Structure 1
Amino acid sequence: MAKENTDRTTIDLFADERRPGRPKTNPLTRDEQLRINKRNQLKRDKVRGLKRVELKMNSEAVDALNQLAEARNMSRSELIEEMLLNQLKHLQS
């Protein structure tokens, strides 16, 4: 049986052939890259005076927030911050 370059049905003939793909541009593994990127993001947030707050919400509330944020052309995080600040201002007055 002859080896045809377009034939991909016989995997064993092409086991050692390198397929074209995206070249590796970073010597670190993907997990290490993600860890470094997250650390850098936290440093940037700290410089900007941001603190991380985590909460769980039902999917209906998240969907409503997403729609409202999109309508106002802002991120969900910015929308939640704005809503909280408005509520705090209202409670203090």
Structure 2
Amino acid sequence: MAKQDTDRTTLDLFADERRRGRPKTNPLPREAQLKLNKRNQLKRDRERGLRRIELKVDEQLLSRLNLLAAEQQLSRAELIQALLLQQLEQQDGN
């Protein structure tokens, strides 16, 4: 049986053949790209007046937040911000 160049079902026939993949578009390694992208994201957020806070919650509360955010078509961060603002406005009203 002759080897067919279009036959891709018998991979062992093509084990030594290098196939062209997606071209490399960035000279940096992936780890450096991720670091740079995160730095740029934080810079954009800072310019928009956003500050980062971290919050640990249990899994059940997280699930409820995710469901509520999906229902209201918001991101979880937008939902938490809205809830915090609502709570602060209630405190100011008293």
Range of TM-score over shorter length: 0.7 to 0.9
Residue 90 (structure 1) aligns with? 90
Q: Distance in 2 between matches of 1:86 and 1:25?
A: 45
1:31 aligned to 2:31? Answer: yes
Letter matched to residue 38 of structure 1: K
1:14 aligned to 2:15? Answer: yes
Residue 75 (structure 1) aligns with? 75
Letter matched to residue 92 of structure 2: Q
Q: Distance in 1 between matches of 2:3 and 2:32?
A: 40
Structure 1 residue ranges (4+ consecutive) displaced by more than 2 angstroms after TM superposition: 2-7
Secondary structure of residue in 1 paired with 2:19: coil
1:40 aligned to 2:43? Answer: no
Q: Distance in 2 between matches of 1:78 and 1:25?
A: 33
Residue 55 (structure 1) aligns with? 55
With structure 2 as the length reference, what TM-score do the two structures score? 0.82
Letter matched to residue 11 of structure 2: R
Unaligned 5+ segments in structure 2 are: none
Per-residue deviation at 1:30?
A: 0.5
Per-residue deviation at 1:80?
A: 0.2
- Deviations 1:39-59, CA, capped at 9 Å, x for gaps: 100000000000000111111
How many residues are paired up? Answer: 89
Paired-residue identity, %: 51
